């Protein structure tokens, strides 16, 4: 694998590189720009997705994108960085070539796990891959997939055997232009820039070398890599909370009220402080669990981070949006952001799903409370 040249100080360069983009930049625009500057590779240890993510570098990059781009655009960068590239790193042939292209920003990759059936019940997915001696054939439907309408390649989770057993699933790398692949945009205006859409596979024929990570390794690969996506979501949530809290403080300190400003009302300060506390609690949990997910792909730690991110955003954005009064409803304001951020409780596993993971590990989590 040939890695792109990395800039001397990527953390300092990300804002400069992103500032050169126009305000309407889509996910692929940002992806290409960051890749060309060598800034995608730097979120991984030693610049290599096989070594896992460096939480500080990933957090800094997501924060720089979040500050400048709509939620949909950040989503389109976050999903492939956290899941697709590390998944491709476990493959050879087409997967290894796509990984090299993706790191340079020359290829955008989507992760297509959620099927036509209930996404929470992943093991019931109906997309099927038939394995032949010299080729494979893919048929099925995937819904609500980030980058679906704008990607160059897709990592598709399919079943090669009936039944829910975790060894019945396999990842396939599918070129977006392969005959039998069709994409359509999802019916939403909340995630501009993300290319979120639905995918239809009609007897898509591919070489056996398009199997990624081995036949039967689909669900274990999903569990490992979705943990990193949950960490990425937690890091992004810290950036979102910080941005909205800073924006709200400015509003409250500027908004005239009587002889002073809204900020001089004790009740307003207390509500703001409670939101600030939620953000700090989420940051503390993220700091304490980030390495466990990055190094060991700890599923319980990732579940805690995901549940925490969704809850913190709900509290912080809800309070900040309310504190900005009518101004909170401006285009792109916190009321709109609140609807977008509800995604943190749905995408990549709903809050209920991650709470179930925590419930299953209750004894261990409890032991972690011992001092
Ligand atoms: C903008 C966006 C981008 C996305 N990007 C991707 C992507 O890139 N790749 C991908 O594969 N998927 C993606 N998704 C899909 C996402 O992962 C799924 O929406 C999610 O897994 C939930 O599945 P579902 O929507 O089918 O909900 P359903 O399974 O229909 O569940 C609906 C609701 O039922 C309740 N529920 C379900 N199961 C349980 C349970 N066991 N216990 C208690 N309550 C339960 C929950 O309240 C849940 O919210 C994206 C979704 C959105 C909105």
**Do 83 and 128 reside in the same domain of the chain?**
no
Residue 6: pLDDT over 80: no
User: Residue 149 maps to which CATH number?
Assistant: 2.40.110.10
**Do 102 and 136 reside in the same domain of the chain?**
no
Per the CB < 8 A criterion, the answer to whether 148 and 198 are in contact is yes
Torsion angle defined by CA atoms of residues 77, 79, 81 and 86, in that order, rounded to the nearest 10 degrees: -160
User: Residue 21 maps to which CATH number?
Assistant: 1.10.540
Q: What is the per-residue pLDDT across 20-60, written as a single tens digit (0 to 9) for each?
A: 998 789 999 999 999 999 999 999 999 999 999 999 999 99
Q: Whose CA is nearest to atom 7 of ligand 1?
A: 145
Torsion angle defined by CA atoms of residues 45, 58, 52 and 121, in that order, rounded to the nearest 10 degrees: 180
Q: How far apart, in Å, are the Cα atoms of 179 and each of 26, 27, 94, 143, 253? A: 26, 25, 17, 19, 58
**Do 274 and 293 reside in the same domain of the chain?**
yes
- Look at residues 165, 184, 215 and tell me which one is the last residue of a structural domain: 215
Phi, psi dihedral angles at 47 (to 5 degrees) = 70, 15
Distance CA 37, CA 363 (A): 46
What's the pLDDT score for residue 8?
A: 52
3-state SS record for the chain: CCCCCCCCCHHHHHHHHHHCCCCCCCHHHHHHHHHHCCCCHHHEHHHCHHHCECHHHHHHHHHHHHHHCCHHHHHHHHHHHHHHHHHHCCCCCHHHHHHHHHHCCCCCEEEECCECCCCCCHHHCCCEEEECCCEEEEEEEEEEECCCCCCCEEEEEEECCCCCCHHHEEEEEEECCCCCEEEEECCCCCCCCCCCEEEEEEEEEEEHHHEECCCCCHHHHHHHHHHHHHHHHHHHHHHHHHHHHHHHHHHHHHCEECCEEHHHCHHHHHHHHHHHHHHHHHHHHHHHHHHHHHHHCCHHHHHHHHHHHHHHHHHHHHHHHHHCHHHHHCCCCHHHHHHHHHHHHCCCCCHHHHHHHHHHCHHHHHHCCCC
Distance CA 170, CA 155 (A): 10
Give me the mean pLDDT over the 127-153 stretch.
Answer: 98
**Do 86 and 127 reside in the same domain of the chain?**
no
**140 Rama sector, left if φ>0, alpha if ψ -120 to 50, beta otherwise:** left
Q: Could you tell me the residue range of the domain that residue 50 belongs to?
A: 10-108
Give me the mean pLDDT over the 177-196 stretch.
Answer: 97
Phi, psi dihedral angles at 38 (to 5 degrees) = 75, 15
What's the pLDDT score for residue 323?
A: 98
CB count within 10 Å of CB 41 equals: 22
**Do 185 and 123 reside in the same domain of the chain?**
yes
**Do 223 and 358 reside in the same domain of the chain?**
yes
Residue 7: pLDDT over 60: no
Please check whether residue 180 lies inside any domain of the structure.
Answer: yes
Q: Is 178 in the pocket of ligand 1 (CB under 6 A)?
A: no
Distance 115 CA to ligand 1 centre (A): 10
Q: What is the per-residue pLDDT across 264-300, written as a single tens digit (0 to 9) for each?
A: 999 999 999 999 999 999 999 999 999 999 999 999 9
What's the pLDDT score for residue 61?
A: 97
Residue 11: pLDDT over 70: no
Domain count, the chain: 3
What's the pLDDT score for residue 143?
A: 98
Per the CB < 8 A criterion, the answer to whether 133 and 166 are in contact is no
What's the pLDDT score for residue 290?
A: 98
Residue 1: pLDDT over 60: no
Q: Is 80 in the pocket of ligand 1 (CB under 6 A)?
A: no
Q: Whose CA is nearest to atom 16 of ligand 1?
A: 347
**Do 132 and 186 reside in the same domain of the chain?**
yes
Q: Is 43 in the pocket of ligand 1 (CB under 6 A)?
A: no
How long a stretch of residues is the chain? 371
Mutate to test the pocket of ligand 1, among 153, 350, 353, 360 (most ligand atoms within 8 A of CB): 350
Q: Is 12 in the pocket of ligand 1 (CB under 6 A)?
A: no
Please check whether residue 42 lies inside any domain of the structure.
Answer: yes
Q: Is 125 in the pocket of ligand 1 (CB under 6 A)?
A: no
Distance 346 CA to ligand 1 centre (A): 5
Predicted TM-score (pTM) of this structure: 0.96
Q: What is the per-residue pLDDT across 235-259, written as a single tens digit (0 to 9) for each?
A: 999 999 999 999 999 999 999 999 9
**Do 34 and 119 reside in the same domain of the chain?**
no
Distance CA 149, CA 110 (A): 9
Confidence of residue 10 (pLDDT cuts 50, 70, 90): low
Please check whether residue 91 lies inside any domain of the structure.
Answer: yes
Q: Is 91 in the pocket of ligand 1 (CB under 6 A)?
A: no
**Do 267 and 278 reside in the same domain of the chain?**
yes
Q: Is 197 in the pocket of ligand 1 (CB under 6 A)?
A: no
**Do 359 and 223 reside in the same domain of the chain?**
yes
What's the pLDDT score for residue 4?
A: 46
* Closest ligand 1 atom number to CA of residue 349: 21
């Amino acid at each position: 694998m040939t890695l792109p040249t990395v800039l001397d100080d990527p953390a300092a360069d990300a804002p400069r590189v992103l500032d050169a983009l126009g305000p309407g930049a889509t996910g692929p625009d940002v992806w290409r720009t960051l890749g060309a500057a060598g800034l995608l590779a730097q979120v991984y240890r030693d610049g290599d997705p096989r070594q896992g993510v460096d939480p500080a570098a990933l957090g800094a990059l997501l924060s720089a994108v979040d500050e400048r781009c709509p939620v949909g655009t950040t989503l389109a960068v976050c999903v492939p960085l956290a899941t697709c590239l590390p998944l491709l790193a476990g493959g050879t042939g087409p997967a290894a070539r796509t990984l090299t292209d993706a790191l340079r920003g020359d290829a955008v990759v989507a992760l297509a796990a959620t099927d036509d059936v209930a996404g929470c019940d992943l093991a019931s997915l109906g997309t099927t891959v038939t394995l032949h001696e010299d080729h494979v054939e893919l048929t099925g439907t995937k819904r609500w997939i980030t980058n679906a309408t704008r990607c160059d390649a897709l990592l598709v989770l399919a079943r090669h055997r009936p039944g829910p057993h975790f060894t019945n699933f396999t990842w396939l790398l599918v070129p977006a232009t392969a005959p039998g692949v069709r994409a359509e945009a999802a019916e939403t205006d909340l995630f501009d820039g993300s290319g979120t859409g639905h995918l239809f596979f009609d007897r898509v024929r591919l070489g056996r070398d398009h199997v990624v990570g081995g036949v039967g390794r689909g669900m274990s690969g999903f569990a490992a890599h979705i943990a990193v996506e949950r960490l990425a979501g937690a890091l992004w949530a810290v950036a979102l909370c910080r941005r909205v809290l800073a924006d709200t403080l400015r509003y409250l300190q500027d908004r005239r009220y009587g002889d002073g400003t809204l900020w001089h009302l004790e009740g307003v300060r207390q509500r703001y402080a409670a939101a600030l506390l939620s953000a700090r609690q989420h940051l503390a949990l993220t700091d304490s669990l980030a390495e466990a997910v990055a190094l060991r792909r700890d599923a319980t730690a990732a579940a805690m981070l995901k549940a925490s991110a969704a809850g913190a955003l709900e509290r912080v954005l809800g309070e900040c949006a309310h504190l900005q009064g009518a101004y909170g409803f401006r285009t792109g304001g916190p009321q709109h952001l609140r609807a977008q951020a509800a995604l943190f409780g749905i995408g990549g596993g709903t809050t209920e799903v991650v709470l179930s993971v925590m419930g299953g590990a209750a004894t261990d989590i409890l032991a972690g409370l011992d001092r």
